């Protein structure tokens, strides 16, 4: 796992994960502790927390992984936390046998799109009017290669 502040988070950490998520997403879009605990109890789902104010949930199914959500509190953005969390989740998934990692991002989210582009994700699909605000989702993917050549 990259980043000393990043550790595994299970259902018992749902309140802390939710507190970060609630500060990163608008009212009505954030995941409360009940939702996060439910996600983390699903097969293949795992969470990581950055104690400085970041979190990520991902799911592994067969040899494919998916980022379910990633969030960094506003005052800690642009300091590399988001990138480290995505890289750490990808490494965790790779160690568990994932060959590719996928995620969805809104066309109206330049911060996240910039982050994923920098990490080497490329577009593999598009879901029209996927989000509540009517924006499209871009489906992005990255192949998970040999150890230490990930990101
Ligand atoms: C997306 C998010 C997790 C990024 O977290 P972060 O800790 O700021 O990420 P990093 O510091 O590792 O990387 C930030 C990168 O985002 C990009 N970025 C940030 N703001 C940007 C903007 N307004 N326009 C374009 N790119 C932007 C840059 O590529 C930047 O890289 P740099 O450090 O080389 O400049 C954070 O902004 C967040 O929580 N947003 C709200 C929740 C969300 O949208 N989650 C993702 C849903 S798919």
CATH of the domain at 102: 3.40.630.30
Question: Rounded to an integer, what is the distance from CA 150 to the centroid of its chain?
Answer: 16
Q: Which of 25, 82, 116 to mutate to test the pocket of ligand 1 (most atoms within 8 A of CB)?
A: 82
Q: Would you say residue 87 lies in a domain?
A: yes
Classify residue 65: in a domain, yes or no.
Answer: yes
2 lines ligand 1 (CB under 6 A): no
Question: Does the pLDDT at position 84 exceed 70?
Answer: yes
The mean pLDDT of 60-83, rounded to a whole number, is 97
Containing domain of residue 76, as a range? 6-143
Kindly tell me the burial class for residue 110, based on how many C-beta atoms sit within 10 Å of its own C-beta (0-12, 13-18, 19 or more): exposed
Write down the pLDDT at residue 4.
72
**pLDDT digits over 4-56, tens only?**
799 999 999 999 999 999 999 999 899 999 999 999 999 999 999 999 999 99
User: Would you say residue 64 has pLDDT above 70?
Assistant: yes
* 130 domain-assigned: yes
Residue 1 lies in a domain: no
How far is the centre of ligand 1, averaged over its atoms, from the C-alpha of 67 (Å)? 15
Ligand 1 in contact with 42 (CB < 6 A)? Answer: no
Per the structure, the count of domains in the chain is 1
Mean pLDDT of the chain: 94
Residue 151 included in any domain? no
| Residue with CA closest to ligand 1 atom 44 | 112
What 3-state DSSP class applies to 81?
Answer: helix
Residue at 148 is within a domain: no
């Amino acid at each position: 796992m990259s980043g000393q502040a990043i550790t595994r988070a299970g259902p018992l950490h749902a309140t802390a994960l939710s507190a970060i998520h609630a500060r990163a997403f608008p009212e009505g879009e954030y995941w409360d502790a009940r939702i996060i605990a439910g996600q983390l109890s699903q097969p293949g789902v795992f969470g990581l927390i950055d104690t400085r104010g970041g979190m990520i949930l991902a799911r592994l199914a067969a040899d494919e992984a998916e980022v379910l959500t990633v969030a960094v509190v506003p005052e800690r953005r642009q300091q590399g936390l988001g990138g480290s969390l995505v890289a750490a989740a990808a490494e965790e998934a790779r160690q568990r046998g994932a060959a590719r990692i996928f995620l969805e991002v809104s066309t109206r989210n330049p911060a996240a799109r910039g982050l994923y582009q920098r990490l080497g994700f490329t577009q593999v699909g598009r879901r029209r009017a996927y989000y509540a605000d009517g924006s499209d989702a871009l489906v992005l993917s990255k192949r998970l290669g040999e150890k230490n050549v990930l990101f």
